[in-house]
Structure 1
Amino acid sequence: MGQTIDIGRRIELVPLDAHFGDISIGLYRQQDDSGPVYRVFTYSRREGVEDRIAFVVQAMEVLGGMEPAEGGRLRFHCGYAHQLAIKRVFLEACKLDPAGPVEPRPLQILDKKSGLQIQVLSEGDGVYRVTAHGEGKDRERRISFIAGGLMKLAEMDEVSGTLDQVAFPCGQEHDALVGLLLVRAPNVRAVLREQEAVASRGVLAAPSQQDG
């Protein structure tokens, strides 16, 4: 009899990996003594698949500011799950060209809709403040909208009495994670629709259904 692999509970799926022969790759949540940990897994036996999974894991470390855990898994240094945010980290890591550089995203973007330069500042204790610079329009409205986008993408909390500040419930800094999500925050509705579409497509294929 084959050995059963306990890979945990699947929380996200890339049904067709465009960078590696359209295999399916899943992100799984597990629990150990330190808290939630995450595993990237595929049933594919295609030659080179171990290197592909290792690349995705390493990219997630960089893009999400995560740290390695035992057995090739990942965790956040704060010990929190941040489950919605890690789904985006996983999807973005799978999109990266393996031949290109993997670098953390800056805490600054150009908001194309308003023409404003958006910058996010860490205020300490997991609090981040959204600022805007330049000659663009609707400054206060765009600041509030982008702060709201970060809340939706990372399950951050609104800082009471403000429209420009959001906070991680763990109370710790996650600069790399905020930089990654900031790119998507101005168009958060489209991002959430994309995640719903990915979640509704396919399942993680067993070895007999994948090449290799």
Structure 2
Amino acid sequence: MIISRRSTYQKILAMEKEGAQVVERDLNLPVDVIISAAVCLAWYDCRNIGKKATARDEASSCLSLCVENIAANVLTSLSFAFSGCILIFEGESSFLAAILESSDELYAAAASLGMDLQLFCSYSSELTDEIILSCIGNTTKLTTGIYPKMPESETLAESFLTAFPSINPLSAHAILSSGGMLVEFLEWSHEHRIQGNPEISCSC
């Protein structure tokens, strides 16, 4: 979604001038941006929400089923690798009203998975950009300098680590930058594994 809207993508790239590092990775996860090792961001609008849902939901073109899919399947898959998720829904007032009516289901699902969920509704592409850039900027201020720069291309070691469902590219980078042994990492708690990372990873 980020790549498809070039103006948003260019604004994210421009944040490198403010200290953020933008790294692209091909991901199997249903996210648009990995903001930190602990937090991801997914962006939906009235056109792509069906495409990001299951084939059954897409065929039904029913928004309630799409939201149900996000709550039951998308958040579940993300909970293995992240402790927090930012969901942005962009569209007209009727679309946003329907999302808000179903928001309790999303919050309940996140709570049951032990995830922190932030939900934003946007009525324009400009507001969506503002939300995304603000989320990235706030995290960058808190985490800059914790780890060295992330490689622009995926390394063999990163590829190995991200094969595990609970490890995303930024947590893999944190592991590889820690200087410890892998066996020590495997003994860490989930919270310890996903502690802050300064990079931003855009999924393609």
Question: TM-score under structure 2 normalisation?
Answer: 0.27
Question: TM-score under structure 1 normalisation?
Answer: 0.26
Greater RCO (CA < 8 Å, at least 6 residues apart): 2
Work out which of the two has the higher radius of gyration on C-alpha atoms and give 1 or 2. 1
Structure with higher helix content: 2
Structure with higher strand content: 1
